[in-house]
A and B are shown apart, each in its own frame.
Chain A
């Protein structure tokens, strides 16, 4: 377990996984014919999927840390938050490029802007770009830790928008999008429940101590 978390915690490991995902789902299939009969569409869908799941992974980390504070593995993965978050932005940009290519011409791309699911995609992407650009120590120093944290809570807004974007992008896509929405929502609910439970038990313990203090003669 110790060795595993050491390996997982290594920067090269994160890089390997994040780049590896791209190789495995995009580059290797592209050269082996694994992208099927509509390769550009496959790339369009894969980049979007990778981006949204990567974003989901980084958002899942905070509640997992609260729920399993002792886990070395989660702590090790958590060291890569920044890299995971930035890669969500990079894959989202690749997704946009694939969309432009898929539309085939500038006119058709402009035409596609008339569709609401494109707006949701673009607004989610805009948030990711802002967050990606401020994912460095310089920005944290300049903005101040508190403001920076507030700004980066927009990641939740981005996730909500992008899950909706995915759900309305195609025929029956909700059936796919919910596999991300439900677990993330469940994790957040579990986190809030735990925080409230800890607070409640702490305050009831204080009350008990106070009560005991007043009862004593």
Chain B
């Protein structure tokens, strides 16, 4: 019985094999880097995060349980040093710096509301406790810009949050809104983008076992640049669907407005499922660059639904994916 259960767990799509991912960089190297370059501010931000870790029940970064030498993932410094977060800069190395110039993500309240029987407003730690703690999942991550990572997320299934809120039958979509703080986030003082960042899922997508709410990665609370303290992770969709630093989750009847869809509806569809057969109008989606594997890391073919077709294919049965891109 026990073996059966273990096998079942192993079949899960988030249990990526060790071979499919790239080696982890020694955690100490990053520390050394910080020390050498004397980035006192960044270092103190990390220390603050680390002390918070124990409060939410995260394993300490030195916890031997993870055996980092055996798990091959996108190196942590690539995950935390290369990503899009337009609130904190337009290039992918800016968020790491700009999101850590005094922006406070603790304390933080998240509101769950709209068409549901049990609206809530609570702190992240409280929410984690309410849904029964966190689990770790290795997910593929595919950006619409044709690069990819494999990331060990810590968090809980979005379905648990949906169950907790008890949406009403007329709730057909879930809307996600990121923070809006023009005082501390200079980019949000300009109206180039319709801030705050918003995203959306259908209620069925939100209930799918893969849809995930992350509060950490690599066994540590999310860094500011990765969407601290709580974010969405939808691994079968392009990365921009996974809204960061959430302050509101709302159950709604109609398809919500989403930021990139509003900016360029012909380029960023509401569904935004990873699909190698439907190119972005300006670049190909057939292949993706593997991040963090050095100069000649090369490209690999992109998989339908980012490799999660088995888990999510049914959601889109009979749908014209070229039209509903």
| B90 A176 Cβ-Cβ under 8 A | yes
The residue from A36, A104, A111, A172 contacting B86, defined by CB atoms under 8 A apart: A172
| A170 B145 Cβ-Cβ under 8 A | yes
A-B contact pairs, 7 of them (CB 8 A): A36-B82, A36-B92, A37-B92, A38-B147, A38-B289, A39-B294, A104-B298
A169 to B267, CA, bound (A): 13
**A77-132 with Cβ < 8 A to chain B:** 102-104, 108, 111-112, 114-117
CB-nearest residue of chain B relative to A45?
B91
A-B pair number, CB within 8 angstroms: 57
| A171 B81 Cβ-Cβ under 8 A | no
Whether A168 sits at the interface, judged by CB under 8 Å, is yes
Whether B8 sits at the interface, judged by CB under 8 Å, is no
B291 cross-chain contacts in A, Cβ below 8 A? 37-38
Whether A175 sits at the interface, judged by CB under 8 Å, is yes
Chain B interface size, under 10 / 10 to 19 / 20 to 34 / 35 or more: 20 to 34
Using a CB–CB cutoff of 8 Å, the interface residues on chain B facing chain A are: 75, 77-78, 81-82, 84, 86, 90, 92-93, 144-145, 147, 192, 260, 263, 282-284, 286-287, 289, 291-292, 294-299
Contacts A36-B92, A39-B295 given; indicate if A171 touches B147 (C-beta within 8 A): no
The residue from A103, A116, A176 contacting B282, defined by CB atoms under 8 A apart: A116
Q: How far is the CB of B283 from chain A (nearest CB, A)?
A: 6
| A104 B299 Cβ-Cβ under 8 A | yes
A37 to B225, CA, bound (A): 15
CB-nearest residue of chain A relative to B190?
A175
Q: How far is the CB of A43 from chain B (nearest CB, A)?
A: 9
Q: How far is the CB of B274 from chain A (nearest CB, A)?
A: 16
| A37 B90 Cβ-Cβ under 8 A | no
| A171 B284 Cβ-Cβ under 8 A | no
| B284 A175 Cβ-Cβ under 8 A | no
A169 cross-chain contacts in B, Cβ below 8 A? 282
| A115 B282 Cβ-Cβ under 8 A | yes
Query: When each residue 161-177 of chain A gets 1 if its CB lies under 8 Å from chain B and 0 otherwise, what string results?
Result: 00000001111100110
A102 cross-chain contacts in B, Cβ below 8 A? 289
CB-nearest residue of chain A relative to B286?
A111
A38 to B93, CA, bound (A): 10
Interface centre among A38, A117, A170, A175 (most CB of B within 10 A): A38
| A108 B287 Cβ-Cβ under 8 A | yes
A36 to B90, CA, bound (A): 15
A195 to B92, CA, bound (A): 43
Contacts A36-B81, A176-B90 given; indicate if A168 touches B289 (C-beta within 8 A): no
| B286 A115 Cβ-Cβ under 8 A | no
B192 cross-chain contacts in A, Cβ below 8 A? 175
A176 cross-chain contacts in B, Cβ below 8 A? 90
Q: How far is the CB of A122 from chain B (nearest CB, A)?
A: 15
A36 to B81, CA, bound (A): 8
B299 cross-chain contacts in A, Cβ below 8 A? 103-104, 108
Beyond A40-B289, A41-B147, 4 additional contacts (C-beta under 8 Å) are A36-B81, A39-B294, A171-B84, A172-B90
A103 cross-chain contacts in B, Cβ below 8 A? 299
CB-nearest residue of chain B relative to A171?
B145
A204 to B77, CA, bound (A): 68
CB-nearest residue of chain B relative to A34?
B93
A115 to B282, CA, bound (A): 6
CB-nearest residue of chain B relative to A41?
B289
B90 cross-chain contacts in A, Cβ below 8 A? 172, 175-176
Q: How far is the CB of A120 from chain B (nearest CB, A)?
A: 11
| B295 A37 Cβ-Cβ under 8 A | no
CB-nearest residue of chain A relative to B264?
A171
The residue from B92, B260, B295 contacting A40, defined by CB atoms under 8 A apart: B295
A114 to B82, CA, bound (A): 28
